[in-house]
């Protein structure tokens, strides 16, 4: 089965740039989606199809995907960005969705 | 506005059955995939399965195949997740979520907390 690997935690100071990676075998050939989950809340889609943003998501959130790594980039990080972030793909070989293990973003 | 409203929290005993629901509104229920995601206490998201209410096409993660049943009643725009015999390890928050494609979830419900304890 397809496996997505994320770092458990990333820390960044306010105003700096946070980069959260999602590793998978030839993930560059798949569409990657990213979700933000704040404590006690349901997840929210923040980036889809590698680099597109849903309506209402700030431009500070961007994504890229190539080779074996997809990356969610959050520019000018704010305290309100502190959350867990999950990557997700559709594994067409097994006809199911897969989530990464999640990354906790801490704003110092 | 797309909304998914889930049924309330449940407390059950091991071996009991359960069916939780997720009612969609603000979009064409039969044209969007709707799926279920498990989050065990303090853990990450797990993709369980998904259904297309238009034709009841259903896909399951191998981890959940045979353990749960996903269904939908398009006449009342509601999707369901059910267990025939709960285990303590089924204790978790369960989210429904919908998307215009099978590959992702654009909108999420508020979650249903299921607690299984003797």
Asked if A83 contacts A24 with a C-beta cutoff of 8 angstroms, the reply is no
Instruction: Provide the pLDDT confidence category of residue A5 given band limits of 50, 70 and 90.
Output: very high
| pLDDT the model gives residue A1 | 87
What's the whole-number mean pLDDT along residues A65-89? 98
| pLDDT the model gives residue B71 | 98
How far is B79 from B46, CA to CA, in rounded Å? 18
At A36-72, the pLDDT tens digits run: 999 999 999 999 999 999 999 999 999 999 999 999 9
Asked if A51 contacts B118 with a C-beta cutoff of 8 angstroms, the reply is no
At B24-45, the pLDDT tens digits run: 999 999 999 999 999 999 999 9
Q: Would the pLDDT of B7 be above 90? A: yes
Report chain B's mean pLDDT, rounded to a whole number: 97
Q: Would the pLDDT of A12 be above 90? A: yes
- Judged by CB atoms closer than 8 Å, whether chains meet at A97 and B109 is answered as no
**Residue A65: CA count within 13 A, CB half-sphere:** 23
Whose CA is closest to B6, among B84, B107, B79?
Answer: B79
| pLDDT the model gives residue A61 | 98
Pairing status of strand A18-23 against strand B107-108? unpaired
Could you say which of B47, B95, B108 has the minimum Cβ distance to residue A97?
A: B47
Question: Which residues, in sequence order, are CB contacts of A98 under 8 Å at separation 6+?
Answer: A1, A2, A3, A4, A88, A89, A90, A91, B47
Q: Would the pLDDT of B74 be above 90? A: yes
Residue with tokens 């969610």: A72
Could you say which of B59, B62, B109 has the minimum Cβ distance to residue A42?
A: B109
Q: Is A16 helix (H, G, I), strand (E, B) or coil?
A: coil
| pLDDT the model gives residue A35 | 98
How far is A62 from A72, CA to CA, in rounded Å? 6
How far is B76 from B58, CA to CA, in rounded Å? 18
Asked if A98 contacts A91 with a C-beta cutoff of 8 angstroms, the reply is yes
- Judged by CB atoms closer than 8 Å, whether chains meet at B104 and A45 is answered as yes
| pLDDT the model gives residue B12 | 98
Closest-CA residue of chain A to B48 = A97
Report chain A's mean pLDDT, rounded to a whole number: 97
Biggest alpha carbon distance in chain B? 41
| pLDDT the model gives residue B112 | 98
């Amino acid at each position: 089965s397809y496996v997505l690997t994320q770092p458990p935690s990333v820390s960044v100071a306010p105003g700096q740039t946070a980069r959260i990676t999602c590793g998978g075998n030839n993930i560059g050939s798949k569409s990657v989606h990213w979700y933000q989950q704040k404590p006690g809340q349901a997840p929210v889609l923040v980036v889809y199809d590698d680099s597109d943003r849903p309506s209402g998501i700030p431009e500070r959130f961007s994504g890229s995907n190539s080779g074996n790594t997809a990356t969610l980039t959050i520019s000018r990080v704010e305290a309100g960005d502190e959350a867990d972030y999950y990557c997700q793909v559709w594994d067409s070989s097994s006809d199911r969705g897969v989530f990464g293990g999640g990354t906790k973003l801490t704003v110092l | 506005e797309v909304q998914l409203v889930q049924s309330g929290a449940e407390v059950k005993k091991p071996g009991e059955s359960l069916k939780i629901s997720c009612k969609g509104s603000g979009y064409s229920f039969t044209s969007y995939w709707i799926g279920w995601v498990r989050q065990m206490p303090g853990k990450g998201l797990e993709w369980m399965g998904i259904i297309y209410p238009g034709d009841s096409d259903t896909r399951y993660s191998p981890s959940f195949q045979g353990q749960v049943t996903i269904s939908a009643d398009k006449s009342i725009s509601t999707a369901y997740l059910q267990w025939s015999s709960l285990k303590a390890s089924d204790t978790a928050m369960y989210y429904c979520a919908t998307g215009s494609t099978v590959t992702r979830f654009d909108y999420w419900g508020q979650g249903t907390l299921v607690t299984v304890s003797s």
